[in-house]
Structure 1
Amino acid sequence: MASHRKPRQRPLSGGPVRTAATTLALAGAATATAFEGTSQADPRQTPTQVKAEVDRLYQEAEAATEHYNGAKEKADEAERALSGLRDEAARKADRLNAARSALGALAAGQYRTGGLGPAVQLAMSGNPQEYLDRAAFLTRTGDRTAAQVTAVRRGLDEAGRVRDQASGRLADLRARQDELAAAKAAVEGKLNAAKQLLDKLTAEERAAYEAQSAPAAGPQAPLSVPVGDGSRAARAVAYAYGAIGKPYVWGATGPGSFDCSGLTQAAWGAAGVSLPRTTYTQINAGQRVSRDRLAPGDLVFFYSGITHVGLYIGDGKMIHAPHPGAPVRVAPIDSMPWAGAARPA
């Protein structure tokens, strides 16, 4: 009997294509795993068990959110670069067209006066590139249009260079957009999985869950801590206090809603300090400080992947944007696994 084998599929090749495909596949797998875990969850889980599972999903969603934030930042940079190159190409095209028009006008004038020489005959050729390729002939004959021809040739070369750069930027932008879509799918998958778990709770169980998730009692007004009146750290802390109660929205940077790194970026931005967008870049944006030397305004980071950040306010507490459904609030820095701290410069 003839064997029936499925033909071996050839792997995808190419840097951006492979990267985007791999990212999308990983995001899809992560999302599928999250939903699979939810579908297999015991509907009789206790609120404590549900909280542990939901907290895990929220932490994974936050990691995906920071990846999304980084990908969005890079996509925005690529889009701005592409827009700049397109504007530059348009300006060069205008200058090139003006130069070619001037060259044509000169040729027409020489024709009307009967002074049409070999150089101008080339200028009126139906193939401008052929004409430009023979610009050396114009230089040898001493024709006064040689300089204009050289300028047009230079303009063509520059326009081609810009077109090549724009093509590269467009490919980069498309790869970043694919990465962005994959990260978004991963975030939404985790959050939907958490929502499905919470929706299985009874009203009484949900109340118990909310009680466990409620923030620890803490000050809702600035602490009396020596941050230095009028200092940048004091302004960052004041901004964070003003954000208390505003909702967590992944990818948000204020002023109406925040994610964790969006809050710290906005707080220090209000103090005149520009922080990068993600947790894993913010930790390198200033001087590293040990836990026993923390001062109000310092950035405090959590989890091994440095996926969460808050703003230290003193007395072992921080202000942070926790996760969806939990607004900006005060919390103890002991409430999550410690990863490090940095003091913005």
Structure 2
Amino acid sequence: MASHRKSRTPGTGVTGIRTPALATAALTSVALLSQTAAAAPSDDGKPSLEEVERKVGDLYRQAESATEEYNGVKEKTAKQRKQVDALLDDVAKRTQKLNDARDELGSLAATQYRNGGGGLSDTAAFLLADTPQDVFDQRQVMDRLAGRQKDAVDDYVTQQSETMKKRQEATQSLETLTESQNDLKTAKATVQKKLSDARALMSKLTAEEKARLAAIEKNKQEEAARKAAELAEQQAAREKAQEEAAARQESGSPAGSGSSGAAGSTTTAPSAGSGYTAKAEKALAFARAQIGKPYVWGATGPGSYDCSGLTQAAWKAAGVSLPRTTYDQVNWGTTVPVSQAQPGDLVFFYDDVTHVGIYVGNGMMIHAPKPGTYVREESVFYDGESAIHSVVRPA
């Protein structure tokens, strides 16, 4: 990490989590898989606390996955809506041009009718034909048309062909849009069902069981804080080793044999550079300003966020346009080892990459956890070390 960045004291991050008082009850209702020993089976057929906790955790994870799918479909639908609107606007303009060309032919036909003593003119025959192309293909008719008439016919045929083509494109786009809108409704219903099931399970817990869940959550936070402190120490050691190596290089003295070992890894991530640091500071300043705002699935601000909505908005404040979903954000940059994460990097979670937070340093991140919680700062190990999928430097 850059030496000019003010570091925080390792191990103090969790005590500084800014969460509204109402979030305490919410945290108990969304506690994930317990690290404690399994409870004894219930004799009344009722699921044990650990079973309920595990099921609730699974439902919230599934809801988060469905939320990312919803976000992707919603973004796709919005793009298709714009395409359809543009096509319909184009069709309207081309229809007006076609009408203008038809009016020109009508005017010519009327003039020929008056000048020809009331007989049906070639232009009128063309205009009134069931399929104008049939008349157009009769070369002898076209040969008799004057220059202005020929231009008018050519313009009419061109406008008719282009208008029909655009109408077909618009029809196909509307069909695709309808399919996407149906997919959007399905994805939305899936999220709502998962959340409803989770709330139903939690509503059956007694006050004592909810208190036990709160205790489990507290133990998890303490363990996460310990791991965050370890990561902070490792990163501090790496930074010190890099500074010492740079100093030796400037002085021309040989590198010490043990200096690189303090860093803890032989894999070195590419340097972020001052340009990245400046952008990361802007992204983090935005993210910190959102702390305390509620998680709402599918939300991108400014009053509420889901996980990828928060990271997208934070980096947008730094002038970097990230994709909407975690599935796309994870491929938007350079992957670096967790031990070399720097402030501003994106931390992704779970094998299916359904959650993301923004790293702030010292093993901590800012993220929008899940429904019922608020944007907050906490350890990147909040759900266990194995939950971390990857770290990506987005710019």
TM-score when normalising by structure 1: 0.79
CA–CA separation in structure 2 for the residues paired with 1:110 and 1:131: 21
CA–CA separation in structure 2 for the residues paired with 1:275 and 1:269: 7
CA–CA separation in structure 2 for the residues paired with 1:344 and 1:132: 62
Q: Which moved more, 1:71-80 or 1:206-215?
A: 206-215
1:242-261 equivalence runs, <5 A: 242-261=289-308
CA–CA separation in structure 1 for the residues paired with 2:90 and 2:138: 26
1:200 is aligned to: 204
Q: Which of 331, 340, 357 does residue 310 from structure 1 map onto?
A: 357
1:267 is aligned to: 314
Q: Which of 170, 191, 204 does residue 195 from structure 2 map onto?
A: 191
Matched-pair contact (CA < 8 Å) for 1:125–1:131: no
CA–CA separation in structure 2 for the residues paired with 1:216 and 1:143: 88
Question: Is 1:73 aligned to 2:75, yes or no?
Answer: yes
- 2:143 partner letter: R
1:342 is aligned to: 392
CA–CA separation in structure 2 for the residues paired with 1:341 and 1:319: 14
1:152-191 equivalence runs, <5 A: 152-191=156-195
CA–CA separation in structure 1 for the residues paired with 2:186 and 2:292: 30
Matched-pair contact (CA < 8 Å) for 2:308–2:356: yes
CA–CA separation in structure 2 for the residues paired with 1:344 and 1:155: 47
Question: Is 1:122 aligned to 2:125, yes or no?
Answer: yes
CA–CA separation in structure 1 for the residues paired with 2:360 and 2:380: 10
CA–CA separation in structure 2 for the residues paired with 1:137 and 1:318: 80
CA–CA separation in structure 2 for the residues paired with 1:195 and 1:211: 20
1:5 is aligned to: none
Change (3 A) 1:210 1:159: farther
TM-score when normalising by structure 2: 0.69
- 1:71 partner letter: V
CA–CA separation in structure 2 for the residues paired with 1:132 and 1:256: 64
- 2:326 partner letter: T
- 1:297 partner letter: G
Question: Is 1:293 aligned to 2:340, yes or no?
Answer: yes
CA–CA separation in structure 1 for the residues paired with 2:390 and 2:281: 21
Runs of 4+ in 1 over 6 A off after TM superposition: none
Structure 1 residue 138: Cα displacement: 4.4
SS, match of residue 381 in structure 2: helix
User: What's the RMSD between the two structures over aligned residues?
Assistant: 2.8
CA–CA separation in structure 1 for the residues paired with 2:340 and 2:356: 17
SS, match of residue 276 in structure 1: coil
CA–CA separation in structure 1 for the residues paired with 2:328 and 2:366: 19
- 1:111 partner letter: Y
SS, match of residue 51 in structure 1: helix
Q: Deviations over 1:69-119 (max 9, x none)?
A: 111111222221111111111110001101110121122223334487843
Matched-pair contact (CA < 8 Å) for 1:135–1:146: no
Change (3 A) 1:192 1:124: closer
Structure number with greater CO (CA < 8 Å, separation at least 6) is 2
SS, match of residue 334 in structure 1: coil
Structure 1 residue 269: Cα displacement: 1.1
Unaligned 5+ runs, structure 2 = 1-43, 226-231, 233-238, 240-271
The alignment of Structure 1 onto Structure 2 pairs a total of residues equal to 300
Q: Which moved more, 1:71-80 or 1:109-118?
A: 109-118
Unaligned 5+ runs, structure 1 = 1-40
Q: Deviations over 1:114-170 (max 9, x none)?
A: 487843342453646367534744442252211111111111111111111112112
- 1:160 partner letter: M
Q: Which of 25, 45, 52 does residue 48 from structure 2 map onto?
A: 45
Structure 1 residue 200: Cα displacement: 1.1
Change (3 A) 1:227 1:198: farther
Matched-pair contact (CA < 8 Å) for 1:132–1:153: no
SS, match of residue 288 in structure 1: strand
Q: Deviations over 1:291-332 (max 9, x none)?
A: 122111111100000010111111111111111111011121
Q: Deviations over 1:249-280 (max 9, x none)?
A: 00100110011111111111111111111101
CA–CA separation in structure 2 for the residues paired with 1:136 and 1:239: 71
CA–CA separation in structure 2 for the residues paired with 1:160 and 1:124: 17
CA–CA separation in structure 2 for the residues paired with 1:158 and 1:101: 17
